[in-house]
Chain A
């Protein structure tokens, strides 16, 4: 008889009681979405408001329920989780929105025939009017701007990586935190904050003084971009060199290896993956610059593959001019389609660069396998 006296409990262990069931968040989410939709229906439905109201309801519901069942510590934990996930979603929203908009608007431009292989040379408003009024295909492309962007960025990288990397090596390996090292760090920080148009004006003025007035070439633009890239490269390389353990340097010294060889063959190979991704980020930062290129390389509608002579187009300036001065002012749609296509290509370029940096980082990273 004694066994019947013990109250029949649920099968859950005493150690796990007072917990929300695993499906609790989904239940609350479903309720929040339904109630949110109902509230929004009263004041006029829109998707954005639905998301916000549902999110607030979800957080309040889950935290409240948890507070009742699980106690205040768990409730605070749920609240923190909601805040963290919410912030993450808010941060992600603009990114997804940008990518979505550019994809939707850019794909028609990108798949139009000859977009990547022809320039805007000879493409006049007449053709655009025809395209709109008679349904003829939109002609003209970004080939000239693409090679301009690639060449200018390449030259800027060739200038800024040696300068930046050597500066970082000086700061970390030789500067000893002395007066010169501190001065360099200060000015690098100042350079980081230079508005890009100022860098463009500097490069333009520099070449006006050295080469002659009116010098506008891809190389001038590359110098302007290099001014913007150098501080980023210095900063990232410096951080990467700093985290190379001192023990590795001492190990090399103790083998009778000279300092410059230690830096070249031990320190830099150990840090190369970080340096490579830092350089890629620096490139990604300048590849979309518009203002400094407008004042230094001008703008061209035809193909110019000589960085050192003549005006040059680039993707950002191409987008800028297509939007601001459509080829056919009466029918700006074909121009805007080309601009979105160019924007998509620019984003793809940056993504490819980032993927490339990851591959480089992986290829160079210190091996840990057995």
Chain B
């Protein structure tokens, strides 16, 4: 239940503005890949192109190919909605649906699409997803309470449960811990380690220690200056990127000399 992603010569635009230039990267199935780099270097923008969330913004478009196990996401006739059903996403700020209970939030992917599901199946799915997100023990007695009543870290794990409930192939995480305290962050990092047994995980993070802790491979993005496009500078095993980078800019960034 996980697929690899291969990106070939991808250019990402906002209108006429080239935001990310010429990225080629191979993301292995059942692994954790981290994107690091200074603010505004386009790593979040690039992440959003991997499940066609980028084009939700008006004027945004891409050129190039993103292959999910060989199938081009941007091929003619590809329905972005079916792409997003296979490639889930967790956002920077926890965003549970405020009108729904915890249980309904987990079932949102099913219910919003009007799929028929029996109560028994729904119960199983809710329990499995919440257990998968390490949240079951904390919320099992209050599944009917609103999701917005949880703490920030719990809300974020609820969002992860919501994402894995639709059984995607890939989970994209856009700085999932940046709004959380250290203990919630630790819970999510543990969870990422477990998720990679089943899913391909791609995570954008500002926190280099986090990238070093959770990821198998790391991609370093950088930007030459304001208004210039972001580029993929170096991509390799996380250990190599942090201990033995081949590019000077990577070494400067991971050793804290800029960014």
Contacts and interface: CB of A to CB of B under 8 A. Distances in A.
B114 interface: yes
A252 B112 contact: yes
Nearest to B95: A247
B75 interface: no
Contacts of A261: 112-114
Contacts of A248: 95, 97-98
A35 B26 CA distance: 87
Contacts of B228: none
Interface of A is mostly: helix
Contact of B82 (A249, A255, A256, A270): A256
Contacts of A265: 111-112
Interface in B170-215: none
A64 interface: no
A69 interface: no
Contact of B81 (A256, A269, A369): A256
Interface string A349-369: 000000000000000001111
A256 B145 contact: no
Interface string A253-287: 11111100110011001100000000000000000
Nearest to B92: A247
B230 interface: no
A252 to B, nearest CB: 6
Given A368-B148, A368-B149, A247 B84 contact: no
A219 B111 CA distance: 40
Given A266-B112, A366-B148, A253 B56 contact: yes
A250 interface: yes
Interface string B58-75: 100000000000000000
B112 A247 contact: no
A369 B145 contact: yes
Given A255-B108, A368-B149, A369-B145, A247 B98 contact: no
Nearest to A245: B95
Interface residues of A, number: 25
A312 to B, nearest CB: 40
Contacts of A366: 98-99, 146, 148
A227 to B, nearest CB: 32
A367 B98 contact: yes
B7 interface: no
B56 A250 contact: yes
A176 interface: yes
Interface stretch (B129-137, B159-167, B239-247): B159-167
A253 B112 contact: no
Interface centre among B88, B93, B112, B159 (most CB of A within 10 A): B112
Contacts of A266: 97, 99, 112
B38 interface: no
Nearest to A247: B95
B210 to A, nearest CB: 22
B146 A247 contact: no
Given A366-B148, A370-B149, A254 B99 contact: no
Contact of B88 (A250, A254, A270, A367): A254
Nearest to B162: A255
Given A255-B85, A367-B146, A367-B148, 14 more contacts: A247-B95, A250-B95, A251-B159, A254-B91, A257-B109, A257-B112, A257-B113, A265-B111, A266-B99, A366-B148, A368-B146, A368-B148, A370-B142, A370-B149
27 contacts: A249-B56, A250-B56, A250-B91, A250-B95, A252-B97, A253-B53, A253-B81, A254-B89, A255-B85, A255-B88, A255-B108, A255-B112, A255-B162, A255-B163, A256-B82, A256-B84, A256-B85, A262-B112, A265-B111, A265-B112, A266-B97, A266-B112, A366-B99, A367-B99, A368-B149, A369-B149, A370-B145
User: Which 7 A-B residue pairs are closest in the complex by CB-CB distance?
Assistant: A256-B85, A366-B98, A254-B89, A370-B149, A367-B146, A255-B109, A247-B95
Interface of A: 176, 245, 247-258, 261-262, 265-266, 269-270, 366-370
